Chain A
Amino acid sequence: MVTVLFAILLPIVCAALIPLLYRRLRRVAHLGWFVLSVPFILFLLLARYIPQIAEGKTFMHTYEWIPSFNINFTTYLDGLSMIFGLLITGVGSLVILYSIFYLSTKESLHHFYCYLLLFMGAMLGVVFSDNLMVLYTFWELTSVSSFLLIAFWHHRKASRAGARKAMTITVFGGLSMLAGFLMLYVASGTFSIREIVANVGIIRDHTLFSPALILILIGAFTKSAQFPFHIWLPDAMEAPTPVSAYLHSATMVKAGIYLVARFSPVFGGEAVWFWLVSVIGLLTLFWGSFNAVRQTDLKALLAFSTISQLGLIMSLFGLGSVGHYYGYAPDTVLYTQASFAALFHLINHSTFKGALFMMVGIVDHEAGTRDIRRLGGLMAIMPITFTIAVIGGFSMAGLPPFNGFLSKEMFFAAVLAMRNVEAFSIADLGLLFPIVAWVASIFTFVYCMILISRTFFGKLRLDKLDKKPHEAPLGMLFSPIILCLFVVGIFFFPNVLGHYILEPAMASIYPTFPSTSELTPHIHAWHGINAELLMTLGVIIIGVILFKTLKSWKPLYRIFPQRYTFNMYYNRMIEFSENSSAKLTNRYMTGNLTHYFVYIYVFFVALIAGYFIWSDASAFNFAKDSTIESYELILVFVMMFAAVWIIFAKGRVTAMLLNGVLGYSIAFFFVIFRAPDLALTQLVVESVTTALFLLCFKYLPDLMPEASRKKKQWSKAIISIFVGATVTLIGLAVVHFDRFKPVATYFNDSYELAGGSNIVNTILGDFRAFDTMLEVVVLLIAGLGVYTLTKLKPRKEETDHENQ
């Protein structure tokens, strides 16, 4: 199945092409029109496989990448990845279409679309990868591209702060997930998810199984903004609205949910898994909806509502894991319905939340503000936008005839079913599930009403708006209208979706169950007057009462300053780590060269001399040494004289010339000992450095006699003597050193192996070419460093554009 590989690579390749082509394309049309073709083509390509997937087929394609480490680029297309693939490409197409009208050509569009395509490729990579390491790579790539997109308007301080926060939290989760993956690898011996699922019985008893479970869940929770990691999502709303609609409501934040769904066949039967996923999910559901009510910024409201809805889906997957515990039996199939509701709500949420985000973007674009304290009365001016808001909002609130109603009912049915479960001692707390779900749904209803009425009802206050509002252009309305058609369409024909999309996904979540048609219920809009319907009615009645009396109970929020608690802890943690690391670093990075030399030499002596003494390799004798000639003695005395004189030299030039004497004498020694290569190099290096020193001395002040204390000078002298002694020791001891196999055998064959009879150069260019290559790179970096440090100093008159 090369299609899937193609689907991952096409967006990434196109992202790489944009910087090269955008200048030409920009003259033709808005860059978005070209980018739009990518997700649209991929959507059609993937949609072609729907019938085959619905029949229960799966497609796999393996490209061997690093087979020695079991890392293969394996793409796997099944029902679950199909849902996400369709969401990513489908919502992606609509969002890009919307962004064409949202972003003017004056923005740096090539950056925007480059990042967006990079994200799309990475996200497709996450859902289509079967190999854990490949999945992890793409996972982090989505974090990186999300960081770049949140900070798209990087001249704003809030954008940069939001991007950093999102990056810190999601990458922290990603790293913990990586640790979990490695533990799974240790337990199972494979990186392939499918093989892990197949061998789950064997690895369940491994000691690393539970730690892996928790670490992987941390990764999923941070990515899907679950309590208490949810704090990054509201700040991420600094991104342009198309990004919020795409990454932060429809796709990226659902990666965590994907991970939970994908791993539920592995961890599903565990009590820890059940409690963590469902309780954290319910907590997030409640906390998000509770906090959404108090928001005054429409996007912040939607952010908290997204957090809450993600919690709902997460908790449903947690409840559905009971089905794994019981295994396949006719009377327990009931419990798998939670997972079905989760998948169903996942799709529904993407449709109505996408439409709502686009609606808010339109309001922001046409009225100039998203603050509900300034908005109002837009219904008459923007009737189509209002319709979109009503459809999306009512669907989110769980009202018919919209798809949110169906999945909300199924959610209620799933939590009600928990009263009868005996596993994991759920029954004791069984009543708590429906109560929390119901209360959270009331708040959901309230904030949906706030969203609609504060924006579109009431009095229009033109004086408080930055622009004169008017209806958006058709192109901008097109995408949310399509999503609204889905919202309504899914309500009337839910079973088409159920059969073609959800049924094969259920098969991926419950691979051990023999028949999937039993897992797929027939979705009814009307199923008689039962507990679920009464709960919905209760939500509506109490929700309306709470909404009407909002003014009287809203001060409650001020009693506990909870909104800032988690943010405050996060900020304190960041501040603490910044301060303490700065303190630690400043303690040893004093900016004093002498100090740095002390570190280097002390480390050198401790390591090298320490090793020689520890390994007892410091023995030496002079018995085999050849006789010392008189001219050698003269050279040695010259060098000693020069070296001692340097210490007492008054001027820099004198010291440098004496250093030159030392260097040239060493070159002489190389000549005497028949090392022409070294002699040549030493001579030239000595000459070039002399020129360099002379240049530098022009800028330095005269050498000042050091006013340091005697004690300090003594310590320096001791360090110097130790360094000298160590070097001498090495020189004497290596002659007899036999701990490693000598590499000399290579040298004899250098002509045969490398085609050169100059041993030194065959080492440099062939045997140890890796060293040479990296040295060359280091050299370039050093050169560029000197260049930038001396040439690119900030000028005083240049103002700092950072914090506008």
Chain B
Amino acid sequence: MKINDVILRTITKTVVFIILTLGIYLFFAGHHAPGGGFIGGLVLASGIVLLYLAYDIETVHKGMPLDFKKVAALGVLLATGTAIGSLFFDVPFLTQTHSYINVPIFGKMGFSTVTIFEAGVALTVVGVVVTIILSISEDE
């Protein structure tokens, strides 16, 4: 049975960019406003899942040749890496630090190691959600 899903595909083309942008915005907004690594990752993952729903797996994989298991593993590596990294500065495990740096054009900006940690969370969420959904849907 072949479903004609022209409408879904057309809408997906535009909406996916909005969703992905929202995901990235939420990730960075998390520091001071609602958002953060987990929700950002979830939104990104849902965008990618939408792509898979609208198109078939091969097409998406051609445009985005990622092994999402590795994405998840990279995420865990980042999260545990920042945790262990703090030991090298002679501070307790998982100590986070932050500071403000004047960047040209953007002005004063806050930088924090939490961002790396949260990036790890986000990547894990994206990787795991897509891995689970793909491996169930590919199963014959």
Chain A residues with a Cβ under 8 A of chain B: 676-677, 680-681, 684-685, 687-688, 691-692, 695-696, 699, 754-758, 760-761, 764-766, 769-770, 772-773, 776-777, 779-780, 782-784, 786-787, 790-791
Contacts and interface: CB of A to CB of B under 8 A. Distances in A.
A773 B128 contact: no
Given A681-B39, A754-B98, A766-B96, 13 more contacts: A692-B132, A757-B31, A760-B34, A761-B114, A764-B36, A772-B117, A772-B121, A773-B94, A773-B117, A776-B76, A782-B128, A786-B131, A790-B138
9 contacts: A677-B39, A681-B39, A681-B42, A756-B114, A758-B36, A773-B79, A773-B83, A777-B76, A780-B76
Contacts of A765: 36-37, 96, 114, 117-118, 121
Contact of B110 (A755, A764, A769, A784): A755
Contacts of B103: none
B31 A699 contact: no
B53 interface: yes
Contacts of A761: 30-31, 35-37, 114, 118
Interface in B13-64: 26, 30-39, 42-43, 45-46, 49, 53
Given A688-B42, A756-B114, A787 B98 contact: no
B26 A680 contact: yes
Contact of A691 (B38, B42, B49, B96): B49
A780 B73 contact: yes
B66 to A, nearest CB: 14
Contacts of A757: 31-32
A688 B46 contact: yes
Nearest to A788: B135
B45 to A, nearest CB: 7
Taking each of A696, A757, A790, which has the highest tally of chain B beta carbons within 10 Å of its own beta carbon?
A790
Interface of A is mostly: helix
A764 B38 CA distance: 9
Contacts of B102: none
| Most interface-central of A696, A757, A761 (chain B CB within 10 A) | A761
A37 B73 CA distance: 37
B12 interface: no
Given A688-B129, A783-B128, A677 B79 contact: no
Contacts of B37: 761, 764-765
A565 B72 CA distance: 53
Interface string B118-135: 101100110111011101
Given A681-B42, A764-B38, A769-B117, A692 B136 contact: yes
A756 B112 contact: yes
A770 B137 CA distance: 33
Given A695-B136, A755-B110, A776 B34 contact: no
A758 B135 contact: no
B133 A754 contact: no
Nearest to B136: A695
Contacts of B110: 755
Contact of A676 (B34, B43, B124, B128): B34
The 9 tightest CB contacts between A and B, nearest first, are A783-B128, A755-B98, A676-B34, A765-B114, A761-B36, A684-B42, A757-B32, A677-B34, A756-B31
Contacts of B94: 769-770, 773
Contact of B45 (A681, A688, A696): A688
Contacts of A677: 34-36, 39
A776 B36 CA distance: 14
B83 A791 contact: no
Contact of B72 (A688, A699, A783, A791): A783
B139 interface: yes
Contacts of A688: 42, 45-46, 49, 129, 133
Contacts of B69: 783-784, 787
Given A695-B137, A791-B139, A783 B36 contact: no
B109 to A, nearest CB: 12
**B43, B53, B79, B133: most-surrounded residue (chain A CB, <10 A):** B79
A696 B46 CA distance: 17
Contacts of A684: 39, 42-43, 46
Contacts of A779: 72, 124-125, 128
A782 B39 CA distance: 18
Contact of B124 (A681, A699, A776): A776
A681 B124 CA distance: 16
Contacts of B96: 754, 765-766, 769
B131 A787 contact: yes
A185 to B, nearest CB: 25
Contact of A754 (B75, B114, B136): B114
